[in-house]
Amino acid sequence: MAGLAATVADARSLRYDAVVARPRAAGPPGPRHAGLAAALAVAAKPRQGPFRIWLGAGVWREKLVVAAPDVWITGEDRSGTRIRFDAASGLAGPDGYPWGTGGSGTIIVKAPGFHAANLTIENSFDPAALGAEAPHDRQAVALMLAAGSDRTLLARVDILGRQDTLYVNAGRSIFRQCLVAGTVDFVFGAGQAHLSHCEVRSRGPGYIAAPSTNRSSPVGLVFDHCHLTHEPGVAAGSVYLARPWRPTRQFADGLYGDPDAVGMVNYLHCRMEAHIAPAAWTSMTYRDRAGERVALEPGVVRFAERGSTGPGARRQRAQDSWPG
């Protein structure tokens, strides 16, 4: 994973396997493409080693699936190079059916070794802009790490959305000096993710994390030396650190919440502003075998907090809810 840091250090001096830039825009040497989808099609061909893509400044409205291994994307400018789409769970896709949460991602990664640096990945769906026309299902993923993904690394990437921004559902991933912004459950899933020195920005009242970690996995979502911030107008005490997600799955005896989903989240030495709720954790409902909605309480999953600082640290609260 160290290779991406070296790539970013002197990006323009390298030769890339694909250069995606506007016509007549400057860029490093390499075969030119009009969009990322075209570059990813080339990446899918047999090759050895990483497939390096340079992405020039601009707003690239594309919905992408990374199905080839070891794709590395380097942006020209962190805020000025934006991969954006506006799909949401309840909106219809090209086939006329709703996208669903997993299908709504602006980028969906299904292969190992995906790296990205110095750019923005955004789901720009805004239910407020649609008013009464907004769908009931408003999950809108910016980045999804799906089955097949592993060894994912993002460095200095802004990941922007509202509900369900970052869906880390598989594999191992590292996020370094990134920004993740959203409102409800905006870092979630069953994967193993380490967010180091990141800004985690709440755009409204809600919940930061919703892990669905399998009980067999000792690691889920880890926030390490992160800064928990908020946009203007977010009230003090209105954002919970996490709630446990137990996804509904099909079993031989019926459709109900997966009993092996025993979420794990850990906040280590994070600075927390005043928007963090004093209780830190809260429950989340799921459907049991009998078809009833029941609450999964924080005390029966694996939630922990250590070394927190700032006005939202609330020293008087219990520091973890790890079951004994």
Q: Which residues are catalytic?
A: 164, 185
Within its chain, how far is the Cα of 313 from the centroid?
24
Taken as a whole, the chain contains a residue count of 324
Residue 107 CB neighbour total at 10 angstroms: 24
CA dist 178 and 120 (Å) reads 10
| CB distance 261 to 190 below 8 Å | yes
Tell me the three state secondary structure of residue 12: helix
Q: Looking at this protein, which amino acid is placed at residue 211?
A: P
Which DSSP string corresponds to 103-158? HT-SEEE-SB--EEEEEEEEE---HHHHGGGS-S-----SEEE-TT-BSEEEEEEE
Tell me the three state secondary structure of residue 40: helix
CA dist 51 and 11 (Å) reads 14
CA dist 105 and 108 (Å) reads 6
| CB distance 197 to 228 below 8 Å | no
Residue 198 CB neighbour total at 10 angstroms: 25
